[in-house]
Amino acid sequence: MITLLDYGAGNVRSVRNAIHKLGFEVRNVQSPDDIVTADKLIFPGVGNFGVVMERLVRDGYAEKLVERIGLNKPTFGICVALQTFFEGSEESPGVPGLGIIPGQIERFPDHALSVPQIGWNGIKLRKNNSIFEQYRGEKFYFVHSFKATPSEENKDWILTTTDYGEEFISSVSRGQVIATQFHPEKSGDAGLRLLQRFLENREVVESVVTEGNLRTEPTRIAKRIIACLDVRSNDTGDLVVTKGDQYDVREEGEVRNLGKPVELARRYYEEGADEVTFLNITGFRDFPLQDQPMLEVLKQTSKNVFVPLTIGGGIREFTDSEGNFYSALDVASRYFRSGADKISIGSDAVYAVEEYLATGKKSGKTAIEQISIVYGAQAVVISVDPRRVYVNSPDETSHNTIECATPGPNGEKYCWYQCTVSGGREGRDIDAVQLVTVCEALGAGEILLNCIDKDGTNSGFDLELIQMVKDAVTIPVIASSGAGSAEHFAEVFKKTNADAALAAGIFHRGEVPISEVKSVVAADGIETR
Ligand code: 1PR
């Protein structure tokens, strides 16, 4: 029996699913004393350092965790859990951590790499630990803006380090206590094997690393390949994966049906997708909490898919027909608790940016702000649905223009990218650069950059748009729309600084397997998982 410390923040369903998948039973911590008495404790962590610490203290868990670790009882901490072992964090100044490991958690400094670090990176073993017995050099999934720094004072705790601009502590251990900055429950087979070693072992064995095992070569983050499933009900009420051409998903009047969401997501996981995204494409007009099937899709998918899951569509505040009010945070929380690791916001982000541009200040009330404060910026993705507007010269518009690779229908040499809402149905008076820069300032952690002109065309990604957006923000950018071949992925990574690339149609129609995309991209010298 494994005991799980669920303190009500973030997605603990994935951890629970991973434990089940490995054949173990899970029970939740019911009272603070359970923390000390549990045989094996898993302490997952998602979200903001201050929020997590506040809950641990409020519920009487913090002092019991310190006691348990002092007693050297088998404990596995994940992500923010690792950070709470330290004395404090720049993320939440003045909030003390558990103070078990010397040092302060710091934000990644400004460097050429995107912050948060989102994606698959390697590790360098600093000592031997039996949980890494079957480790074969794979990468693990990281998602964080803050990190622990190796020092003379904490060196005895360091189990692995990782490079991301600089070297940081990617896992710690002492005796029976282990914590990883990465998410083993989201790191595919490699992560599950690690958890399995912890769950199965009677005892964790530590030793000094031998020469042969010591890895010193720098680790490199992989470019992610993401499979996207646009989901909606068809005319007979079944939830299906569909796919549009320039956002039109109907063919001869019918909604295109390309398969069942849960099955397809599982297939992409097994084929090596680094992440799976669901977009509930009619979420802008339906209220997702009444759309139980979508929550069920997440619950079922997360039982068998152990890479990150993003869900978008309908994340906004809502008042139902009985007058009950739900904040965007309520909606997002339901998604997180159903198995999502990140949520993506489309239309509501456009309205939030319009409000910000009109008032010049943050209201603190937008979905982006509310969700990122509780779950962390890395959990908030902005899905941008831009459409090209052609102009003869940049002076014709106040918007951010670029010289287009191919001229417009009337020979126009320039274009700007107009943001749309409601699944591309309505254009608004803001451009993609305005949108992403304000969203970043409001607390978004990643951009999913679609392009209506390219969607479903198989003609390759919109490289100019992607680089323009990438230059405007420091958060990761996912290139989306237009992939028609494995070579298009290699091209987008060579010609832009995109952190990830996403496709839908070519995967659904079975035209290019994910493995082929990976091998073509890797053959070009680009880091993949
Ligand atoms: O506005 O917060 O409710 O979110 C709605 C979400 O649904 C947005 O993320 C929006 O992008 C998405 N959406 C709405 N309508 C459509 C549609 O197609 N009619 N899908 C839609 C957007 C675009 C991509 C697609 C790529 C790759 N889908 O995600 O998967 O373009 O396609 P390709 O590889 O086949 O070219 P809200």
DSSP H helix total and E strand total for the chain:
16, 32
Does residue 386's CB lie within 6 angstroms of at least one atom of ligand 1? no
pLDDT of residue 58: 95
Whose tokens are 């799976």? That residue is 276
Most ligand 1 atoms within 8 A of CB, residue of 232, 383, 489 to mutate: 383
Nearest CA to ligand 1 atom 8: 346
Q: How far apart are CA 286 and CA 219, in angstroms?
A: 44
pLDDT of residue 135: 85
pLDDT by residue for the chain (529 residues), tens only, comes to 899 998 876 678 899 999 999 999 999 999 999 999 999 999 998 788 998 999 999 999 999 999 999 999 999 999 999 999 999 999 999 999 999 999 999 999 987 899 999 999 999 999 888 898 888 899 999 999 999 999 999 999 999 999 999 999 999 999 999 999 999 999 999 999 999 999 998 777 777 666 666 667 899 999 999 999 999 988 888 899 999 999 999 999 999 999 999 999 999 999 999 999 999 998 888 777 776 788 999 999 999 999 999 999 999 999 988 899 999 999 999 999 899 999 999 999 999 999 999 999 999 999 999 999 888 899 999 999 999 999 999 999 999 999 998 899 999 999 999 999 999 999 999 999 999 999 999 999 999 999 999 999 999 999 999 999 999 999 999 999 999 999 999 999 999 999 999 999 999 999 999 999 999 999 999 999 9
Top CATH class of 262-384+419-523 equals: alpha beta
pLDDT of residue 10: 65
pLDDT of residue 209: 67
Say how many Å lie between the CA of residue 303 and the centre of ligand 1.
Answer: 25
Domains 2-213 and 262-384+419-523 in one fold:
no
pLDDT of residue 9: 65
Q: Is 497 exposed, middle or buried (0-12, 13-18, 19+ CB in 10 A)?
A: middle
pLDDT of residue 529: 97
Check if the beta carbon of residue 383 is closer than 8 Å to that of residue 424: no
Buried b (16+ CB within 10 A) or exposed e, 232-270: bbeeeeebbbbbbeebebeeeeebbebebbbebbbbbbe
Say how many Å lie between the CA of residue 172 and the centre of ligand 1.
Answer: 40
Tokens of 513: 């397997």
How far, in whole angstroms, is CA 454 from its chain's centroid?
24
How far, in whole angstroms, is CA 11 from its chain's centroid?
11
pLDDT of residue 203: 77
Cis omega before residue 150 (within 30°)? no
pLDDT of residue 47: 80
Structural domain spans, the chain: 2-213, 262-384+419-523
Instruction: Give 2-213's CATH code, choosing from 2.40.110.10, 3.40.50.880, 3.40.50.1370, 1.10.1270.20.
Output: 3.40.50.880
Q: How far apart are CA 245 and CA 266, in angstroms?
A: 24
Tokens of 45: 């962590």
Backbone angles phi, psi at 81, to 5 degrees: -60, -45
Nearest CA to ligand 1 atom 27: 481
Say how many Å lie between the CA of residue 444 and the centre of ligand 1.
Answer: 18
DSSP 488-528: HHHHHHHHS--SEEEESHHHHTTSS-HHHHHHHHHHTT---
Q: Is 482 exposed, middle or buried (0-12, 13-18, 19+ CB in 10 A)?
A: buried
The Cα angle at residue 220 between residues 273 and 138, in degrees rounded to 5: 55
Most ligand 1 atoms within 8 A of CB, residue of 229, 230, 368 to mutate: 230
Does residue 116's CB lie within 6 angstroms of at least one atom of ligand 1? no
